[in-house]
Structure 1
Amino acid sequence: MTSAALPSYISRSAVTTLAIGLVSLATLAAGSAFAPVAVAQGWLMAFLFWSSIPVGSLILLLIHRLVGGRWGNALAPALLPAASLMPLVALAFLPVVFGLTAIYPWATQPAILPPDVSHFYLNAPSLIIRAFVALGGWSLLSILVVQGRCTKLTAGLGLAFHGFVVSFTAIDWILSVDPHFASTAFAASIAIQQILAALAWAAVSAPEAPNDPATADIGAFLIAALLGVVYLGLMSYIVIWYGDLPEKAAWYLKRDTNGWNWIITAAFLVGAAIPLAMLLKRSLRQSRRVLRIVGGMILVGIWLHVEWLVAPTFVSGWLIAAAIAMVAMAGISVGLIRGAMLRPGRNVDHAE
């Protein structure tokens, strides 16, 4: 198909990007016949990172619907397309459902859990139902937001819904990879990390407006989200380590061997310490070029952090599968955003 045969709002680059994503997806599907466990685990890794951007974008748009502010208008060109991908996120969870036994040890060995936990909470049917509720609710909210039909009441209810569902998706999708560990602050940390991912994505991809006063606001939000993620992660570690809780300390010890200590160190330096030092200087915080660099560094840090959280229990080969899965997800997402999801005339007005 030539570019002349395409609608005016669909560029050749959108078709090419979408094709790359689909080819990567087909490659991964073929690879699952030879290494199903590695492919399933790699897909989860990529899904956890990639899905945080649409979810975080949706939450920021709901917050802006309630409180307003120039920052929302400045970030809308990046947040709206990302939030519109939520139905695709729901679809992308299906390989996780089909690969439950390859990813989660409790799916094949329920005896490793206390009987009441296995029977009433952490089992395949319950996880799938909870995922359906979370992904279905997020998708519905994203449709209302993108179509400009989200009222303030809907936004408020949507944020309350998110606070409820993220408390179990964080446990189901991430912590249950190693089901012997539990943390009451973990869900809050993941919720803030989703917002941080969306802010970083917006800092990288939002169009540049010279002398826009909202630029400094974006930098300030990045500082707040960064501090929130680092604070909750550090406090959880301190409470568990100095509280002398052997079972929970073992979770950290597993991530302090085989090079994982270097991964979390790199995640902290690249994704938090250096960006924070740059953002603290006002002149740098007001530069869109600097914000793009900072946003890219934060996204790399989030990827490394998610890797540190879930991958120490994975089999070899997951990293190659995760890289191919990321190309597939990014290619399909960007292709759809540049094509049919972004047509001329789309606005960011909200319903009253």
Structure 2
Amino acid sequence: MTARAATFHLQKLRRRPAVCGLLLLGGAVIATVAWQGPALSRGWLVAFAVWSCVPVGSMMLLLIHSLTGGRWGEETAAILRPSAALTSVVAIAFLPVLVSFGQLYPWAHAASSVAQDVAHQYLNGRGYAVRAAVALCGWAVLGITFSLGERRPLLAGLGLAFYGATISLVAIDWYLSVEPRYVATAFPATIAIQQLAAALAFVAVFAAPSLDESVASDIGALLLAALVGVVYLEFMTYLVAWYGDLPDKAAWYLKRSPSIWTASIVVAFAFGAVLPFCILLLRKGRRSRHGLRSAGMLVLFGTALHFCWLLVPAFEDQLDVVVAGAGVLAILGVGSMLVGSALIPEAGHVRS
């Protein structure tokens, strides 16, 4: 009887943070949908882009581990599974973006901003909503399914194919189309690898104390590979744009040439890429819990700056967008951490 009572109280305590987190997230979503201020809506888009990287990236890592296996997935399951389960919350957190898309995208209120056939057949409100719904619902189903800990290689393979197809569409819809005349074929791949890097960095920060040296080295190596992928794709995109010297591509980069945005991307590169690269390149750095955690925090910092550099210069009220985005990101982060803490499996149920 005492054991049952103790279990009941433990479950009750674990439920309270989840309820608080859901109330916080739900209240923020409802308030933003009701208000729909331009700066708040734009700030929400920026915050959503940064915050959603971890749940979606965690879902991808679970799918990859279901196909490849390895201790790294088993030892980090206590972090990856709750994070992947939050893909359902990602779908809810997208509602303010969907409701206020007219304030975010030029094509929503000025058809002349894109070619007529593109506006008619693809870049319109109905198509935007349908593609977002398909992607978010599919990711939520995959995230919840694999957060239960079952190994389903066939479903994992199909899920990765589904993710590859949907991220190729929604990355352009959600982020690139804030400036619809700019086109970059590598942009969806950059976003996908950025999500992987953010999820691995999140694991490095929160799972490092419990990892042995071998698993810590594996996580560090995966993070290093993802980091190199993001930098490579971003650099090659710039190089192709510079070499082609096309007006629309030049205009996109010129918007990001003022000193504040030049400084932000330099800081993101130096502290979010070069410094963690140097830490993770050394075997001792990857095996060190402090080194791995430091590299993870730097990558998360660089991810936030990178998305700010990508999105905020597209808007006029940039300072208001940054302030609103920082506040929304804090709310989303705290709320999801509270919900996720209640989803962390007990020690005896972490490994499948």
Q: How far does residue 19 in structure 1 lie from its aligned partner after superposition?
A: 4.0
* Partner AA of 1:59 in structure 2: M
1: distance between equivalents of 2:127 and 2:69?
A: 37
User: For the structure 1 residues 27 and 95, does the alpha-carbon distance in structure 2 shift closer, same or farther, using more than 3 Å as the test?
Assistant: closer
Q: Distance in 2 between matches of 1:54 and 1:337?
A: 10
Shift of 1:15: 4.2
Which residue number in structure 2 is paired with residue 319 of structure 1? 322
CA distance in 2: counterparts of 1:56 and 1:126, whole angstroms: 25
Confirm or deny that 1:295 pairs with 2:296: yes
Q: By how many angstroms is 1:27 displaced?
A: 6.5
Corresponding position: 1:82 with 2:93: no
Corresponding position of 1:257: 258
**Contact kept? 2:18, 2:340, Cα under 8 Å:** no
Decide whether aligned partners of structure 1 residues 28 and 155 sit closer, same or farther in structure 2, where only a CA change above 3 A counts.
closer
Query: Which of 333, 338, 341 is 2:336 aligned to?
Result: 333
Mapping for residues 194-213 of structure 1, pairs under 5 Å: 194-206=195-207, 208-209=209-210, 211-213=212-214
Q: CA deviation at 1:21?
A: 7.6
Amino acid at match of 1:260: W
- Whole-Å Cα distance in 1 between the matches of residues 239 and 327 of structure 2? 36
For structure 1, which runs of at least 5 residues remain unmatched after alignment?
Answer: none
The structure with more helix, counted as a fraction of residues = 2
Distance 1:101 1:19, change over 3 A: same
* Displacement of 1:59: 0.6
CA change 1:150–1:17 in 2 (3 A) is closer
CA distance in 1, matches of 2:18, 2:85: 18
Deviations 1:179-211 (A, max 9, x none): 110111111111111100000000001152364
CA separation of 1:214/1:267 partners in 2, compared to 1, >3 Å: closer, same or farther? same
Q: State the AA in 2 paired with 1:331.
A: V
Q: For 2:87 and 2:156, how far apart are their aligned partners in 1?
A: 16
Instruction: Using the TM superposition, give the Cα deviation of residue 172 of structure 1 relative to its aligned residue in structure 2, in angstroms.
Output: 0.5
Q: Which amino acid aligns with 1:106?
A: W
Matched position secondary structure for 2:11 = coil
The answer on whether the counterparts of 2:17 and 2:339 sit within 8 Å (CA) in structure 1 is no
- Could you say if the C-alpha distance between residues 6 and 177 of structure 1 is closer, same or farther in structure 2, counting changes exceeding 3 Å? farther
Q: Corresponding residue for 1:246? A: 247
- Whether the aligned pair in 2 keeps the contact of 1:193 and 1:229 (CA below 8 Å) is yes
Q: Which residue of 2 aligns with 1:182?
A: 183
Tell me which residue corresponds to 2:107. 106
1:281-337 per-position Cα deviation (integer Å, ceiling 9, x unaligned): 211111011111110110000000000000002224112211221122112211111
CA distance 1:79–1:343, change in 2 (3 Å): closer
Structure 2 counterpart of 1:334, one-letter code: M
**Unmatched tracts of structure 2, length 5 or more:** 1-5
Separation of aligned partners in 2, 1:257 and 1:6: 57
User: 1:210, 1:148 → 2: CA distance?
Assistant: 19
1:66–1:152 contact (8 Å) kept in structure 2 = yes
Which of 1 and 2 has higher RCO (CA within 8 Å, sep 6+)? 1
Moved more, 122-131 or 207-216: 207-216
What is the TM-score normalised by the length of structure 1? 0.91
Structure 2 Cα separation of the partners of residues 289 and 197 of structure 1: 18
Helix, strand or coil: the match of 2:10? coil
CA distance in 2, matches of 1:25, 1:245: 44
Equivalent in the alignment of 2:3: none
Letter in 2 for 1:156: G
1:1-352 to structure 2, matched below 5 A, reads 7-9=9-11, 11=13, 15=16, 19=20, 22=23, 26=27, 36-206=37-207, 208-209=209-210, 211-257=212-258, 259-314=260-315, 315=317, 316-339=319-342, 341-344=343-346, 346-349=349-352
1:107-147 deviation line (CA, Å, top 9, x unaligned): 11122110001011111110110011101111111121012
Displacement of 1:9 after TM fit?
3.5
Amino acid at match of 2:120: H
Say which SS state the counterpart of residue 157 (structure 2) adopts.
helix
Q: What is the letter of the counterpart of residue 98 of structure 2? A: V
> Percentage identity across aligned positions?
44
Structure 2 counterpart of 1:246, which letter?
A: P
- Maintained 8 Å contact 1:22/1:328: no
Q: Using the alignment, how far apart are the partners of 1:75 and 1:34 within structure 2?
A: 39
Q: Is the 8 A contact 1:170 1:187 kept in 2?
A: yes
Q: Which amino acid is the alignment partner of residue 342 of structure 1?
A: I
Specify whether residues 144 and 16 from structure 1 end up closer, same or farther in structure 2 by C-alpha distance, changes over 3 A only: closer
Secondary structure in 2 aligned to 1:106? helix
SS of alignment partner, residue 303 of structure 1? helix
Return closer, same or farther for 1:106/1:71 CA change in 2, 3 Å cut-off.
same
> Take 1:268 and 1:11, find their aligned partners in 2: how far apart are those partners?
41
Paired amino acid for 2:311: V
State the alpha-carbon separation in 2 of the partners of residues 179 and 236 from structure 1: 16
Structure 1, residues 131-164: CA drift from partner, whole Å, max 9, x if none? 1110111111112101234511000000111111
CA distance in 2, matches of 1:182, 1:68: 37
- Measure how far apart 1:348 and its partner are: 4.0
Mean CA deviation greater in 172-181 or 24-33: 24-33
